């Protein structure tokens, strides 16, 4: 049942309003003063407060401000016999839903209350639709149907509702930035700033001013006052990408900001309060850095309130065909081409590839294949140009022995994998990042396909 709190020092008016609204199906409680109203709100949650403006002790405007700060979700309807345009405007500016001037009729108060609940219902429906839309966008952006991705969606949904710091840990190219964006989009801060900084890309001399800001003249080149990212992201989210690269001498200052929610600009002594939700990422073994005293342990624990391990693509290979289809649609649309299809051999080639660059490498490969395919409506194996590691020992002059003997190197790798797994082909294939069928075909090429095997 919808509950309303009526606050007025006029006992008779309180009773009339209670009887009227109770008949309309509302649960009504009464308070004779602003102080009493605040005490009742601590014990009995309400949807709407109807308050007089002029009362002994706490005035209606002051009560409005106090309630709006403590319980921003509660509606407020102001009533007064001293109504002026200025008073009405002030009440509305400070968060009142509506304003009534005494004397008013029963139908007027009923219609105002009814209008509030209609507005509240629309607001809740709008919020629900926004949440559903964010979830749909999340599923469109973070592509996959594997168990690992479903677990990831689950963790995002849990932590997005809180303000807890999040630590995203995973290899390069796994989509940590997309996950951070998804957490922000599903949070109560979604309509506030989402800022990001790549800690590895900022020069050490500029790191402090970039994060915390600086005053004019605080250092050479500081021609004007500049807010830092923490101030710019106030009430929003700040993504500290590759946090492991932050200079060690600044880690203590960052820890202090996270603990106290205050920043001090370079060249100033005055602190500024900030309300920022922090998400950090790393592609390194952060625990090893802590053990080696290269990353502060107390900062690590401060950031690691809600860690999320982002899965590598090799741990969710069933998502590779879905990713390929997603990127085919994305880049065919980008280049204004008819949707191309993937030849089965091309798909097999890509599924069996060991994607060290993870999703980003798949995306690059698909875009490159679309360009190589030209007018063809099918991506053939020859259109797929996989990224290869650079051989560091090649010298000018005659061709390198390493290039001439790639087939021998491949054969040696396969035999070493079989030796390491006691000739267990399934385990050897997993070790090599290929399918058992591909391994069998390779062995047939070597003339060893009929050898006794364990699978």
Q: What is the DSSP string of 261-288?
A: -EEE-BT---EEE---EEEEEESS-HHH
pLDDT value at residue 388: 55
Selected from 3.20.20.70, 3.40.605.10, 3.40.50.300, 3.30.930.10, the CATH number assigned to the domain covering 142-311 reads 3.40.50.300
Cβ neighbours around 148 below 10 Å, total: 17
Residue extent(s) of CATH 1.10.8.60 domains in the chain: 316-383
CATH number assigned to the domain covering 3-122: 3.40.50.2300
Per-residue model confidence (pLDDT) at position 399? 44
**Residues spanned by CATH 1.10.10 within the chain?**
401-446
Residues whose CB is less than 8 angstroms from the CB of residue 38 and which lie 6 or more positions away in sequence, other chains included: 58, 63, 66, 67, 70
Report whether pLDDT(349) > 60.
yes
User: CB-based contacts of 155: which residues, under 8 Å, 6+ apart?
Assistant: 306, 308
| pLDDT above 90 for 318 | yes
Strand, helix or coil at 454? strand
Which of 216-220, 221-225, 348-352 ranks highest by mean pLDDT?
348-352
Whole-prediction pTM: 0.58
Q: Are strands 341-342 and 237-241 parallel, antiparallel or unpaired?
A: unpaired
Considering only residues 239 and 88, tell me which one the structure prediction assigns the higher pLDDT. 239
What confidence category does residue 224 fall into, taking pLDDT thresholds of 50, 70 and 90? confident
pLDDT at 389: 46
Stretch(es) of the chain classified as CATH 3.40.50.2300: 3-122
pLDDT of residue 401: 41
- What's the mean pLDDT when you consider all of the chain? 85
Residues 272-304: tens digit of each pLDDT: 999 999 999 999 999 999 999 999 999 999 999
Instruction: Answer yes or no: is pLDDT of 353 > 80.
Output: yes
Residue 33's nearest CA partner among 70, 63, 66 is: 63
Nearest to 33 by CA among 10, 1, 65: 10
Q: Measured on CA atoms in the order 414, 420, 426, 430, is the torsion positive or negative? A: negative
Two tokens, residue 73: 């979700």
Q: Specify the domain boundaries for CATH 3.40.50.300 within the chain.
A: 142-311
User: What pLDDT was estimated at residue 262?
Assistant: 94
Write down the CATH number for the domain with range 401-446. 1.10.10
Q: What CATH architecture does domain 316-383 belong to? A: Orthogonal Bundle (1.10)
| pLDDT of res. 452 | 47
More confident residue, 64 or 431: 64
In this prediction, residues 140-168 reach a mean pLDDT of 91
Radius of gyration of the chain (CA): 32
Pick the range with the lowest mean pLDDT from 164-178, 219-233, 326-340.
Answer: 219-233
Question: Residue 391's pLDDT is what?
Answer: 38
Query: Please, what's the largest Cα pairwise distance for the chain?
Result: 105
Among 95, 99, 131, 130, CA closest to 115: 99
């Amino acid at each position: 049942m919808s509950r309303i709190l009526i606050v007025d020092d006029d006992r008779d008016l309180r009773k009339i309003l209670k009887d009227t609204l109770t008949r309309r199906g509302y649960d009504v409680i009464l308070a004779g003063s602003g102080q009493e109203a605040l005490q009742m709100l601590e014990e009995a949650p309400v949807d709407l407060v109807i308050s007089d403006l002029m009362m002994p002790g706490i005035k209606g405007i002051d009560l409005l401000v106090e309630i709006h700060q403590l319980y921003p979700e509660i509606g407020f309807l102001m009533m007064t016999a001293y109504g002026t345009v200025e008073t009405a405007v002030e009440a509305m500016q400070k968060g009142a839903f509506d304003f009534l001037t005494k004397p008013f009729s029963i139908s007027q108060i009923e219609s105002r209350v009814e209008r509030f609940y209609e507005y509240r219902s629309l607001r809740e429906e709008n919020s629900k639709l926004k949440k559903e839309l964010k979830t749909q966008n999340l599923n469109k952006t973070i592509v996959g149907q594997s168990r690992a991705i479903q677990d990831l969606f689950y963790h995002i949904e849990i932590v997005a509702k809180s303000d807890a710091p999040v630590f995203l840990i995973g290899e390069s190219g796994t989509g940590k930035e997309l996950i951070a964006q998804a957490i922000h989009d599903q949070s109560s801060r979604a309509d506030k700033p989402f800022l990001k900084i790549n800690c590895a890309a900022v020069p050490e001399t500029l790191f402090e001013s970039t994060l915390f800001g600086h005053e004019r003249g605080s250092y050479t080149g500081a021609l004007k006052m500049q807010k830092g990212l923490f101030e710019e992201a106030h009430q929003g989210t700040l993504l500290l990408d590759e946090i492991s690269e932050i200079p060690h001498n600044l880690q203590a200052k960052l820890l202090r900001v996270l603990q106290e929610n205050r920043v001090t600009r370079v060249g100033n002594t005055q602190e500024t309060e900030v309300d920022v939700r922090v998400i950090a990422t790393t592609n390194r073994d952060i625990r090893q850095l802590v053990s080696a005293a290269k990353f502060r342990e107390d900062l690590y624990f401060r950031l690691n309130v809600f860690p999320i391990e982002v899965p590598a693509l090799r741990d969710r290979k069933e998502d590779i065909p879905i990713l390929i289809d997603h990127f085919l649609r994305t880049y065919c649309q980008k280049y204004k081409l008819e949707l191309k299809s993937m030849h089965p051999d091309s798909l097999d080639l890509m599924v069996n590839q060991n994607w060290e660059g993870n999703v980003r490498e798949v995306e690059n490969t698909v875009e490159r294949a679309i360009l190589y395919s030209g007018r063809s409506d099918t991506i053939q194996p020859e259109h797929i140009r996989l990224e290869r590691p650079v051989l560091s020992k090649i010298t000018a002059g005659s061709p390198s022995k390493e290039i001439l003997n790639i087939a021998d190197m491949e054969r040696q790798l396969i035999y070493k994998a079989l030796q390491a797994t006691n000739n267990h082909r399934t385990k050897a294939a997993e070790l090599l990042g290929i399918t058992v069928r591909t391994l069998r075909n390779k062995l047939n090429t070597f003339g060893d396909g009929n050898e006794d095997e364990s699978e």
